[in-house]
Structure 1
């Protein structure tokens, strides 16, 4: 019975002390797992939202201090809430003390990064290593004038990649992780972990040494603080995911972010077809039983359209044209699109781009001009969240989604369109969650209903059997959950029209836990546009 919430501390409550005062609200939501975006010491300007860390041992003064963090974790734990923090594995800020020492010419600190006097080795790396941000941060190396050397920078020039071939790096990073655990942090999100090992002649992604390092971290944690959880951020193809869990005998991460299902949910919403979604969920369900995911609809980051291109081709789709359709649809540029979002990292050469926006704006709240259109937008929103809540694993809400918060186009940094969905929490809207009939009331209480179903049904325990099921309709997605004699069928219509669906081998009557309707899935039934039914077998 885990329900997660992710947020920026400053946008939600200004600082850690302010967040402590908001713990009753988190309790009201039913949150048991709080993920705070980066809050360790960072440069004031070039910090990538906190993912350029200048001191892994100290809370940034903007949020408070280490004592405030310890007070927060104590307050959260008293209410049964565990705290998750990001731990940036791949790089430090160029203003980190190690980087400053390296710039002064101290070899010991230069060896904690990957520094090169000429372009020989950088050019060799560039021939095999893809660029993360080819338009906004081209190349994988940055020239440092103070050192007179090139530095490996996979992401942005102010984020210097660490050299894990130097054992001092892992030792120091482990020290910082354990220090945060001593302050009460119970879950670490390992940011950009697939990138941490560099080897000439490879793409420097998902290399075997990465797994050795994660395994070492897991071993240390199990010895020193065995209840601490590792959650990996692995934005890679499904075939790469299983390795990050390790094996039952030699485990690595406890959890992974379920990025690929999130992407496929949005793809299904725009295309009104669930074939890719079903294929991707099937792939994840085929992983070993110890593989657990944290599922979500939106988070702090963009939506990168990393779909299964082989499957797209098999279905007769052009992957690039499909990607272009998706990012144009969710930016509102596609004809008759209800969605409102912004492009991120558009590349005019490759025509690649990502999408940004809040769940509400992407689902049509912002563009709705009539009550009927708004009702449709709310149905789309609840379709996305209800389907996500049904998946194997644990659900996570993005702060602001529970009250239908919209895009904020007043963001200061126009170069980073992700800030359109990183806006201040609107507490006036949150107050309207108590007003029956309001948008906020409808959304807040619908999410509470989903939470209640998960908490009270034996079909959402970790050992329940979960599988997709053929609805005999390419617009209708279905999951089946079973445990002993208990049986539930979750049916999601991604079409904007009423659809018919039928489920072979289902015998008897099933009752919808939302509307109370009774159907016989084996006979087939009609499901309204963007409707989701949680059908529990009547004994």
Structure 2
């Protein structure tokens, strides 16, 4: 029977009765959820939207390849597939990793050998020519960048990855399209249907009212939020860049377009969609136009639609927002666990670098303590570095509880990681300095920020050793925290800043390209035979951490990591209460040896514990425990 609110199923569209039953059952399961979310946004009278939606869903289901249908059934039997400790992610630009999609396909042995189960290829759908915000100005969602290959090449790569148990992750830019996208081009020549896909104002009246409360994302090279377009004859909403036109999600036709796009890409083999700039979708006068409640309804409706056709698909929210707002993207209240399956734990990344610079974990612990629990059916994306800059998202409230001034600490971190602070080990670049707010974000590779670049230039073996230990400590935290640890391409080889980015005209104005180097395959092939080099040590250490993680059910993402009181502010102690037993992780964020009172661990673990990272037994009935600089322990009671 059809789900309430939908017209009768077009049974002739199905090849056999079993397909019709499967589709009908899923529509019945998710239909109410889907239509309720749409009504919350667009009102009770949805007109012909349900009928048009049913047509899109039916077509997507009919076009879904047989092997992907089998994956759907497997994922329905194991809904926690994204939460297991075996999930380890790798993030790369296809061209910088291996030239083309076919070239990426030739490097799957490397990914599999590293332990990767989740592979995020950065924006590869066809962008506008020239400047395109690193690929986030999409001109065609149904085509691949010509220099990378074709959509058939993408589907072939997805099949190859799937055969090795690796999920393909792709960016889906939701907030905006390139000015050259077909929708925008048709809007510019006056087609009313497509003008309604965008926010186009005839004069500055409304833009001026909105900009009273709108922040600037790129104040250096894209100030303001509106751009005059001669062709459109109006002021177009352009949050990020003048060539990126914000979409009008208040128009249900836009929502339906993206359902169709998601199903098309899912049928090419995309398993996880990174929902880019999702926080910006809904515009409301008098607000920052971020994190509005309609965003969560819209995402929940997209997820429900995907569940009907392709339940193997998961959503990851790219919402770099405050913790109180972040939970909305995983689902709060009526949305609990029904919005996105995964979100970035940006705060964890920020606190890693903060503690490394200050040699103090009190702010880290306070920030984690303030985090509300996530839905147990969701997971975090956790990372040391990513393709983007580091913004010092440290709240004044968290800083105050740790005895710090928020503004002063943020200023310290910018100084430290740009190398301006006396004694800093870091080599980073300031990105997007905003004199009005004092905001100074940082670009730089993980190895350069951790001190390896400066240590190698100085020829100081002791400083090199510290930098290697820092890198392994940071990765130990993300691999042990719970969630999907995301390794950024080249970090497994300790690649340094690529200062040659400035010689590439398309990159010169954006110093984030300093930490987007090309993969060094010669180095990757050498490291097994060069175990004493920084790259060899980092690579071997990281592979050991990954293998250990993947052997531990205690690291299932349904369990939260919570901070424990630490007797020494240089030490971060995390506790995980898994049904198989308690796990305590201890991390020394300083280069100095720490003598830790053993009672801090004995109260939880008892008199003896085993360190999963080394296999060694620790006798906690002794008075103290010594941890050398940058040491990590993953402890379980014997």
* TM-score > 0.5 by shorter chain: yes
TM-score w.r.t. the length of structure 2 is 0.82
Equivalent of 2:345, from 253, 258, 261? 258
2:290 paired with 1:205:
yes
Are positions 1:482 and 2:482 aligned together? Answer: no
Q: Is the 8 A contact 1:70 1:184 kept in 2?
A: yes
For the residues of structure 1 that align with 2:375 and 2:104, how far apart are their CA atoms?
38
- Cα RMSD between the aligned structures? 1.6
1:225 CA displacement: 0.4
Partner residue in 1 for 2:593 = 498
**Within 5 Å, which residues of 2 pair with 1:433-472?**
433-435=527-529, 436-464=531-559, 466-472=561-567
Aligned residue runs from structure 1 range 68-467, under 5 A: 68-246=153-331, 251-284=338-371, 286-368=373-455, 369-411=459-501, 412=504, 413-435=507-529, 436-464=531-559, 466-467=561-562
For 2:336 and 2:592, the matched residues in 1 are separated by 49
Distance 1:465 1:214, change over 3 A: closer
Structure 2: how far apart are the matches of 1:125 and 1:93?
22
CA shift, 1:519, in A, is 2.7
C-alpha displacement at 1:392, in angstroms?
2.1
For 2:337 and 2:499, how far apart are their aligned partners in 1?
A: 47
User: Offset of 1:465 from its aligned partner?
Assistant: 5.8
Secondary structure class of the residue paired with 2:499: coil
| Partner SS, residue 304 of structure 1 | coil
Distance 1:299 1:340 in 2: 16
* Separation in 1, partners of 2:258, 2:145: 18
Q: Highest Rg: 1 or 2?
A: 2
> Aligned partners of 1:285, 1:250: CA distance in 2, in Å?
14
- Contact in 2 for aligned 1:285/1:466 (Cα 8 Å): no
Cα 1:112–1:128 shift into 2, 3 Å: same
1:11 corresponding residue in structure 2: 96
Q: Describe the shift of the 1:299–1:420 C-alpha distance in structure 2 as closer, same or farther (beyond 3 A).
A: same
Structure with a larger share of its residues in helix: 2
Can you give the 5+ residue segments of structure 2 that lack an aligned partner in the other structure? 1-85
8 Å contact kept, 1:41–1:53: yes
Matched-pair contact (CA < 8 Å) for 1:215–1:250: no
Q: Which residue of 2 aligns with 1:30?
A: 115
Q: Is the 8 A contact 2:337 2:377 kept in 1?
A: no
User: In the TM superposition, what whole-angstrom CA distance separates every residue of 1:323-364 from its partner, at most 9, and x where no partner exists?
Assistant: 121111111111111111111101233221111111111111
Q: Secondary structure at the match of 2:592?
A: coil
1:427-472 superposed Cα distances (whole Å, 9 cap, x missing partner): 1211122113232221112111111211112312344463321121
> Which among 608, 611, 617 is matched to residue 509 of structure 1?
608
How many Å separate the matches in 2 of 1:19 and 1:171?
A: 32
Question: For the Cα contact (< 8 Å) 2:366–2:402, is it kept in 1?
Answer: no
Q: Equivalent residue for 2:43? A: none
2:74 is matched with none
2:115–2:547 Cα contact (<8 Å) kept? no
Cα distance, 1:285 vs. partner?
6.0
1:367 aligns to what SS in structure 2? Answer: helix
Q: Which one has more relative contact order, counting CA pairs under 8 Å at least 6 apart?
A: 2
In the TM superposition, what is the alpha-carbon distance from 1:485 to its structure 2 partner? 5.3
Shift of 1:515: 4.0
Give per-residue Cα distances to partners, 1:61-117, cap 9 Å, x unaligned: 121001000100000011110000000010001111111122222222221110000
TM-score under structure 1 length normalisation? 0.96
SS at match of 2:116: coil
Alpha-carbon distance between aligned partners in 2 of 1:317 and 1:463, rounded to the nearest angstrom: 32
Cα 1:485–1:235 shift into 2, 3 Å: closer
How far residue 250 of structure 1 moved from its aligned partner, in angstroms, is: 6.2
- Give 1:497 shift: 1.4
Q: Deviations over 1:217-246 (max 9, x none)?
A: 011011010110000011000001111112
Relative distance call for 1:408 and 1:486 in structure 2 (3 A) is same
CA distance, structure 2, for counterparts of residue 249 and residue 379 of structure 1: 39
Which moved further from structure 2: 83-92 or 126-135? 126-135
Counterparts of 1:284 and 1:391 in 2: how far apart (Å)? Answer: 14
C-alpha separation in 1, matches of 2:181 and 2:556 = 44
* Structure 1: 5+ residue stretches without partners: none
Q: How many residues align?
A: 538
Q: Deviations over 1:234-262 (max 9, x none)?
A: 10000011111125766010000111111
CA pair 318-471 structure 1, distance change in 2 beyond 3 A = closer
Corresponding position: 1:532 with 2:619: no
